[in-house]
Amino acid sequence: MSLFLDITLGCAVSLAVAGWASFGYLYHRKRHTTQFKETSSTPPRSMRHLAEQQKDETSKLAETIPAKTLILGPLGQVLGCNSLTEAHYKNSLPALLRHPATRDTLAAALKAPIDPENGLPAICATTVNLDVPVKRTIRLAMRRLTHKHGRDSRVLVLLSDRSTMQAADRMRADFVAHASHELRTPLASLNGFIDLLKENQGAATPESQMLYLDIMTQQTTRMQRLIDRLLYLSQLQLRGHTRPRTPLEIDELFAVISGEVTPRFKDNNRVLHIQQEEGLTLLADEDELVQVFLNLIENAIRYATQPDKTLHIHLKAYRAGPDENPSATSDGILLSLEDNGPGIAAHHLPRLTERFYRVPENQAATAEAQQGTGLGLAIVRQILERHGGKLHFTSVEGQGTTCWIWLPTAAL
């Protein structure tokens, strides 16, 4: 019996010792694993400092280049961006980097072979056409930056804006096409009256000669007005990719417009009403917005004037409500110009801002309406696109027409 107790006691002690040993082993292993995880997930201070130092060096490298420059990582992340690029492409940079052509060219630049002549990776280039936030044509030239330790994962990108060049090319083509078409009629009229004066030299009465000269003067004035508007429209196209940055108060804008159009409302048959909310501010070019409303008011006078009826034109400005705001990213101001004229048929409304488009004669209220160039509303549309605005028309035949303009407010 004593021997059995001794054996039992010995086994119990052995199991206890083994249990404590196992517990100690597992405890120390768990603690060591936790410490390892913490160490692996949190880089040493020296590694973080090295990464920050490399980032600073990359930014300084981009800043030393006197051109619009980016330095991209292998996934297209921006490692360096100089101030020139930031100022010129601040709003367009995200769309530019997401463009498929940019991604493909970056991938090609990372794999570009070394040129044996200069020992540098080959240059990969592409041209990107952006529609948002503004229309732009940008050329990108990329070259991989080599590293002495073989870590060739950075790509230098030089950006050049071709928007002005593209606009100039379109301007020349449009000018030739439209000007040749529109100038043909007054030139034919001038040539006809010149030939008539030559044939009837000495036979035409002074009254007939004065009539011919008056008509020729009218046609010459029409050509001059047409050329002036074409040139102004071309200048707007050249500036179309840059947004105005000057704050403009709506009450100041309306004061200038009122002063400009007052002579057109001396007639008792025309009345201009102006109404606006207080504290409305835009980022705008004042001269261009004044031109917008001068064109719209002139169109209203030209097309909405009716015999034996007073023409009322209402110019309004107020903050756009949620249902009136076409932009989900910024608040806006809604401006409207309303007249009580004969109105415009619905099928003409989508084409009003086309160059040289004029409402047919049976829709025009006066003979003066036929003397327009057909460029006024095209100029309005071009200006509003440059300002990031929206334009549309509503009209009811027999009641009048309203032009609606939405423009983004200036950030406070």
Q: Please tell me the predicted confidence (pLDDT) of residue 365.
A: 45
Best CA proximity match to 294, nearest among 258, 344, 270: 258
Q: Please tell me the predicted confidence (pLDDT) of residue 40.
A: 45
Backbone φ and ψ of 317, nearest 5°:
-150, 130
Tokens of 66: 């006197």
Best CA proximity match to 349, nearest among 339, 340, 359: 359
Domain 45-161, CATH class in plain words: alpha beta
User: Does 230 or 387 have the greater pLDDT score?
Assistant: 387
CA distance 278 to 257: 17
Q: Please tell me the predicted confidence (pLDDT) of residue 193.
A: 81
Is the confidence at residue 147, as pLDDT, over 80? no
Topology of 164-241 in CATH?
A: Helix Hairpins (1.10.287)
- Flag the least confident range among 17-26, 215-224, 306-315, 358-367: 17-26
Give the angle 363-219-354 at the CA atoms, nearest 5°.
Answer: 45
- State how far Cα 66 lies from the chain centre: 26
For the segment 330-357, the average pLDDT, to the nearest whole number, is 88
CATH superfamily of 243-412: Histidine kinase-like ATPase, C-terminal domain (3.30.565.10)
Backbone φ and ψ of 154, nearest 5°:
-110, 145
Summary mean pLDDT of the chain? 80
Give the Å distances, CA to CA, from 72 to 62, 144, 355: 10, 9, 43
At 149, the pLDDT band (50, 70, 90 cuts) reads low
For the segment 115-139, the average pLDDT, to the nearest whole number, is 88
Using one digit for the tens of pLDDT, what is the confidence trace for 247-305?
999 999 999 999 999 888 887 789 999 999 999 999 999 999 999 999 999 989 988 88
Using one digit for the tens of pLDDT, what is the confidence trace for 300-327?
998 888 888 899 999 999 998 877 877 6
Best CA proximity match to 89, nearest among 283, 242, 284, 237: 242
CA distance 317 to 289: 13
CA distance 157 to 68: 8
Site of tokens 């403009």: 248
Give the Å distances, CA to CA, from 187 to 121, 183, 214, 227, 247: 59, 6, 15, 13, 44
At 159, the pLDDT band (50, 70, 90 cuts) reads very high
Tokens of 270: 């025309």
Is the confidence at residue 339, as pLDDT, over 90? yes
Using one digit for the tens of pLDDT, what is the confidence trace for 29-63?
545 444 444 444 445 555 555 556 666 777 788 88
CA distance 94 to 86: 11
Q: Please tell me the predicted confidence (pLDDT) of residue 187.
A: 82
User: Does 257 or 146 have the greater pLDDT score?
Assistant: 257
- Flag the least confident range among 98-112, 152-166, 247-261, 279-293: 152-166
CA distance 372 to 78: 51
User: Does 6 or 69 have the greater pLDDT score?
Assistant: 69
User: Does 342 or 48 have the greater pLDDT score?
Assistant: 342
Please say whether the dihedral angle defined by the alpha carbons of residues 53, 59, 62 and 64, taken in this order, is positive or negative: negative
CA distance 28 to 34: 10
Q: Please tell me the predicted confidence (pLDDT) of residue 254.
A: 94
Give the number of other CB atoms < 10 A from CB of residue 37: 10
Please tell me if the domain spanning 164-241 has the same topology as the one spanning 243-412.
Answer: no
Segments making up each domain of the chain, as ranges: 45-161, 164-241, 243-412
User: Does 320 or 329 have the greater pLDDT score?
Assistant: 320
Is the confidence at residue 330, as pLDDT, over 80? no
User: Does 371 or 78 have the greater pLDDT score?
Assistant: 78
Question: The pTM is what?
Answer: 0.55
Phi-psi region of 306 (alpha: psi -120 to 50; beta: other; left: phi over 0): beta
